Amino acid sequence: MTTSGSDVTVESVVRRVVARHRGERGALLPVLHAVQAELGHVPQEAVPVLAEELNLSRADVHGVVTFYHDFRREPAGRTTVRICRAEACQALGADQLVNYARQSGLPLGETAADGSVTVEQVFCLGNCALGPSVEADGRLYGRVGPAKLGSILNGTVSS
């Protein structure tokens, strides 16, 4: 997850990732996912390397990185918490969770000052019968009320 190691540069990571996906048709999305998995985001320096490696224009690569919600251009907090704001969760009070996060000083899109957590919105996690739903670092939580969201946000959630 670090770019500060001596021989780990953005460029080397990107080239290694591209090499792994060389045989795939239209590989840019899997490559970007892999770059983000290693670096935590898709840094601007990755764009020209990707363009060169995949024989695309920089504009093409930039266009793809910015089109998709998943790809972030800045590092996020150590944990990313996503609150579902789609209809089924709305019907169960998802807005209360968004308000709760805001009142805790973490409006949507913001990262906590200590870098511990970033809060985002998401539209549907496929858990619409057990909402409100929240996801934290790939882990799904159902029937989340403000108290539970609180413990998810400060990393003390049990179960």
If one asks whether residue 63 binds other proteins (CB under 8 A), the answer comes out as yes
Of 20 and 143, nearer to ligand FES (C-beta) is 143
Of 31 and 89, nearer to ligand FES (C-beta) is 89
Of 93 and 150, nearer to other proteins (C-beta) is 93
If one asks whether residue 122 binds other proteins (CB under 8 A), the answer comes out as yes
DSSP letters, 85-144, are -SHHHHTTTHHHHHHHHHHTT--TT-B-TTSSEEEEEES--S-TTS-S-EEETTEEE-S-
Instruction: State the nearest-atom distance from the C-beta of 125 to ligand FES, in Å.
Output: 4
**Which entry of ligand FES, other proteins, none binds 115, CB below 5 to 8 A by partner kind?**
none
Q: What is the CA radius of gyration of the chain?
A: 18
Q: Are 34 and 70 in contact (CB under 8 A)?
A: no
List, in order, residues 6 or more apart from 66 with CB less than 8 Å away. Answer: 73
Instruction: State the nearest-atom distance from the C-beta of 92 to ligand FES, in Å.
Output: 8
If one asks whether residue 43 binds other proteins (CB under 8 A), the answer comes out as no
Interacting residue with other proteins among 39, 64, 83, 153 (CB under 8 A): 64
If one asks whether residue 133 binds ligand FES (CB under 6 A), the answer comes out as yes
The amino acid sitting at 92 is: L
Q: Which stretch binds other proteins (CB under 8 A): 11-19, 103-111, 132-140, 149-157?
A: 132-140
| Vertex 60 angle, CA 56 and 65, to 5° | 120
If one asks whether residue 140 binds ligand FES (CB under 6 A), the answer comes out as no
